[in-house]
Amino acid sequence: MVRKIILYIALSLTLITVGYFSFIYYVPYSEGVRSGELIKISHKGFVVKTWEGELSQGISGAQIFAFSVMDNQEVIIEDLKKWQGKKVTLEYEERYKTFFWWGDTHYFVTKVTLEK
């Protein structure tokens, strides 16, 4: 009897943990578009390196939009490096939570275009 209870508790905790991490991984909080001058893109971190960037949306950097880029988005990373200092439009997803190996922010860029 006690063995069954322990088994049910362990199974419940496993299902809750898997459900929580699946929710964080697959469900975005919001999606959006922002444009401005790309002022920073960097690969930073001590143990785990992540791609982080900043977009200036106002005069003299009054409004800064900080964002992260997933490591598997090589095309986006290369475009951001190439277009630093230029006006760009970013499409992004906002996450409820993030993992430390994804990035520092809750905003993850999914597409970048250069404005004319």
Supply the CATH number for residue 75's domain: 2.40.50.140
Position 75 scores a pLDDT of 94
Is residue 73 situated within a structural domain?
Answer: yes
Q: Is residue 13 included in any domain, yes or no?
A: no
Flag whether 3 is in a domain.
no
Assign 9 to helix, strand or coil.
helix
Q: Which domain holds residue 108?
A: 28-114
pLDDT per residue rounded down to tens, the chain (116 residues): 889 999 999 999 999 999 998 888 888 889 999 999 999 999 988 888 999 999 998 776 678 999 999 888 999 999 999 999 899 999 999 988 888 778 889 999 999 999 88
pLDDT reported for residue 110:
94
Residue 12 lies in a domain: no
In a domain, 20, yes or no: no
Q: Does 91 reside within a domain?
A: yes
Burial class (CB in 10 A: 0-12, 13-18, 19+), 10: exposed
Sign of CA dihedral 66, 81, 87, 40: positive
Residue 99 amino acid letter:
F
* Overall domain count for the chain: 1
Q: Is 89 helix (H, G, I), strand (E, B) or coil?
A: strand
pTM for the full predicted model: 0.79
